[in-house]
């Protein structure tokens, strides 16, 4: 069962009422296929939608870059974090969200549609535009020291879908959080940065 577009539109229009987590994995064909619907939601196997109210407008028609992060949390925490960022209390909660969190187990947790801006990088610009207003923010569950095969394969699926749906230049698909805030951030870290060129080569060669 697909998400009704009326629910997604109400989220875009700024409602503060969180939508329920689907708890549902929608099959795709072939089994590893991942698509992006016209509203910017992922459709495919091992996708969990946990819509958040923490988003804003993009300054471009569609994203032009991918910025990588890690959660700095333990294995199995993606679900809890996805639930936590569904709501936002100004002055109480940290203003942070992601588009997609890639779990250690290969599950893709999507909280913000890809045609909206997630709050993943507070500083810096890309092509003169604020990072949050023009890029996809991807979190990798973990502390950046190891990435299981299931997680790497899921990230590859995600990048392939992004490349197919949007005209993201290859040189903008491997940006790291630390580039924009080096004094405070080190993610996604050297291990992921070593893996990323091969992953992008695979994604962009298809």
Q: What's the confidence (pLDDT) of residue 32?
A: 80
β partners of residue 56: 117
| pLDDT > 80? residue 4 | no
Q: What's the confidence (pLDDT) of residue 70?
A: 98
Q: What's the confidence (pLDDT) of residue 198?
A: 95
> With pLDDT > 90 as the criterion, what percentage of the chain qualifies?
81
Longest dimension (CA), the chain: 45
CATH of domain 5-204: 3.40.80.10
Confidence at 30, pLDDT banded by 50, 70, 90: low
pTM: 0.85
Q: What's the confidence (pLDDT) of residue 205?
A: 86
Return the domain boundaries, the chain.
5-204
Residue (of 198, 63, 200) closest to 129 by Cα position: 63
**What length does the chain have?**
206
Distances (CA, A) of 183 to 65, 71, 179, 180: 22, 17, 10, 9
Confidence at 152, pLDDT banded by 50, 70, 90: very high
β partners of residue 36: 42
| pLDDT > 80? residue 10 | no
Bridge pairing between strands 135-140 and 175-176: unpaired
Three-state secondary structure of the chain? CCCCHHHHHHHHCCCCCCCCCCCCCCCCCCCCCEEECCCCCEEECCEEECCCCCEECCCCCCCCEEEEEECCCCCCCHHHHHHHCCCCCCCCCCCCCCCEEECCCCCEEECCCCCCEECCCCCCEECCEEHHHCEEEEEECCCCCCCCHHHHHHHHHHHHHHHHHCCCCHHHCCEEHHHHCCCCCCCCHHHHHHHHHHHHHHHHCC
């Amino acid at each position: 069962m697909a998400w009704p577009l009326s629910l997604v539109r109400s989220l875009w229009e700024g409602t503060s009422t969180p939508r329920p987590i689907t708890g549902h994995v929608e099959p795709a064909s072939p089994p590893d296929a991942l698509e992006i619907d016209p509203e910017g939601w992922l459709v495919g196997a091992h996708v969990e939608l946990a819509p958040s109210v923490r988003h804003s407008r993009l300054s471009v028609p569609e994203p032009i870059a991918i910025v990588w992060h890690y959660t700095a949390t333990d294995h199995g925490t993606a679900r809890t974090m996805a639930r936590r960022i569904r709501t936002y209390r100004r002055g109480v909660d940290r203003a942070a969200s992601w588009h997609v969190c890639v779990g250690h187990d290969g599950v893709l947790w999507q909280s913000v549609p890809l045609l909206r801006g997630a709050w993943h990088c507070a500083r810096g610009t890309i092509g003169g535009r604020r990072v949050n207003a023009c890029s996809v923010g991807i979190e990798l569950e973990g502390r950046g020291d190891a990435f299981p095969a299931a997680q790497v394969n899921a990230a590859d699926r995600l990048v392939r879908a992004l490349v197919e749906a949007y005209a993201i230049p290859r040189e903008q698909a491997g940006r790291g959080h630390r580039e924009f805030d080096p004094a405070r951030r080190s993610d996604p870290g050297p291990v992921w940065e070593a893996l990323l060129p091969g992953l992008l080569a695979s994604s962009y060669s298809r």
